[in-house]
Homo-oligomer: A and B are copies of this chain.
Amino acid sequence: MISNLNDIFSINSKGMKRSAIRELLKLTQRPEVISFAGGLPAPESFPVEELKDIIQEMMEKEPALALQYGATEGDMLLRKEIAKKYQKEGFDITVDNVIIVTASQQALDLVAKIFINRGDAVICGLPSYLGGLSAFNSYGADMHGIPLDDQGMSAELLEKKLAELKAKNITPKFIYTIPDFQNPAGITMPQKRREEILAIAKKYNVLILEDSPYRELRFEGEHVPTIFSLDNTGHVISLGTFSKIFAPGFRIGWVIAHPDIIDKIVVAKQATDLCTPPFTQRIAARYMEKGLIDKNIKGIVDSYREKRDGMLKALEEFMPKEITWTKPEGGLFLFVTCPEYMDTNELFKKAIEKNVAFVSGTSFYCDGEGKNTMRLNFSFCSKETNYEGIKRLAEAIKSELR
């Protein structure tokens, strides 16, 4: 071994932290633990039978294409299907606005790579998806957090922050936002707030990075237009993924953006992994082409709605009055707030003793706050297990109340 390994790691890698969640997941894999910690889709949502047929057909008709290298931009059939899906929603895009990536996490990495120099400012929500923060951090971004209210990122505080930064001659590289059923908070931005955020971004000449992995999983109410579709100037980069509506094990996501930005992402991706697996891309393309995805989404929505309802009911039933939580209209998560004196990292140990797990909110706060909050996932476990888990969690919380 070389004598100074720890010295020669790059500055950015020295700042990288293991994902608290992924490490927690290992701790919580004992079968007796009910884990609300992960962000895993329900395995029963995977369309196994339909996939069997599609794969068999693919292996009969086009194995050489599926097993060979593919274009960095992605499988053309899949790009067309994704463009079509957005066109149906009124997006003014073509395949030139679409690149396929190795799931959303790679999109976050590549967007960071093409924009962030060490020390560059980036805006995010307080709280925000941990994987986004890790990706930006891995290029040395200087994160500035904007608190969320019950309509998502505060437009007022965003403008205040951008004005402050402008006074110091700093323009952030982008504003990172998860407008639909936010991870971790479960909050959805109404259209008016989206329009305000977009107007502020334009005024200050800052790009918006809109991360929408849960968008299709709406349990009630009307879909709110994406920020991308409210813009018509190329000001927004929008991310989508199959991980929550089809199969995370395929690792397929996409970026929708102005062709000049897509072009730069393509060049960065060439040096990063050449291409996303053509094998899983082609399966996904055929699945979409056959029109099966909408049916699958409907099944997931029905199932997760019931699970959310069950978890909300259990929270009502078991939690002491000092505890509050968000009531998400979709997605996979809800967010719990405990009294300010409580530290959910400490609570975690008590919870594990009672065989229930969650993620402490601090992981999602770029400023280290959120000590009295936690994220709960309701998609993975069964309704019954969710109920039992909340009961155990409530007991752990009660033991920590003053």
Report how far A390 CA is from B48 CA in the complex, Å: 48
Contact partner of A40 (CB less than 8 A), chosen from B2, B69, B249, is B69
Residue of B with least CB distance to A136: B271
Q: Is the CB of B22 within 8 A of A270?
A: yes
The reply to whether A272 and B109 contact each other, CB–CB distance below 8 Å, is yes
Complex interface residues of chain A between 17 and 68 (CB less than 8 A to chain B): 17-19, 22, 38, 40-41, 43, 46, 48, 51-52, 55-56, 59, 63-68
Q: A248-B67, A251-B276, A267-B16 are in contact. Are A5 and B103 (CB under 8 A)?
A: no
Interface centre among A56, A63, A70, A106 (most CB of B within 10 A): A63
Q: Which of A125-150 contact B (CB under 8 A)?
A: 131, 134-135, 137-139
CB-defined contacts of A258 to chain B, threshold 8 Å = 1, 5
Contact between B134 and A13 (Cβ–Cβ < 8 Å)?
Answer: no
Contact (Cβ within 8 A) B279 A250:
yes
Alpha-carbon separation in the docked complex, A120 to B51 (Å): 47
Question: Per-position contact with B for A231-274: 1 when CB-CB < 8 Å, else 0?
Answer: 00111000000010001111100000010110010111011111
Shortest beta-carbon distance from A351 to chain B in Å: 22
Known interface pairs A68-B43, A235-B1. Does A267 touch B117 (Cβ–Cβ under 8 Å)? no
| Contact across chains for B43 and A52 when beta carbons are under 8 A apart | no
Chain A's interface size range is 35 or more
Task: Indicate whether A205 reaches chain B with its CB closer than 8 angstroms.
Answer: yes
- Give 1 or 0 for each of A92-110: 1 = CB within 8 Å of chain B CB: 0000000000110110110
The answer to whether A69 touches B248, judged by C-beta atoms less than 8 angstroms apart, is yes
A135–B266 Cα distance when bound, in Å, is 13
Using a CB–CB distance below 8 Å, which chain A residues touch chain B? Answer: 1-5, 8-13, 16-19, 22, 38, 40-41, 43, 46, 48, 51-52, 55-56, 59, 63-72, 102-103, 105-106, 108-109, 113-118, 120, 131, 134-135, 137-139, 171, 173, 205-207, 233-235, 243, 247-251, 258, 260-261, 264, 266-268, 270-280
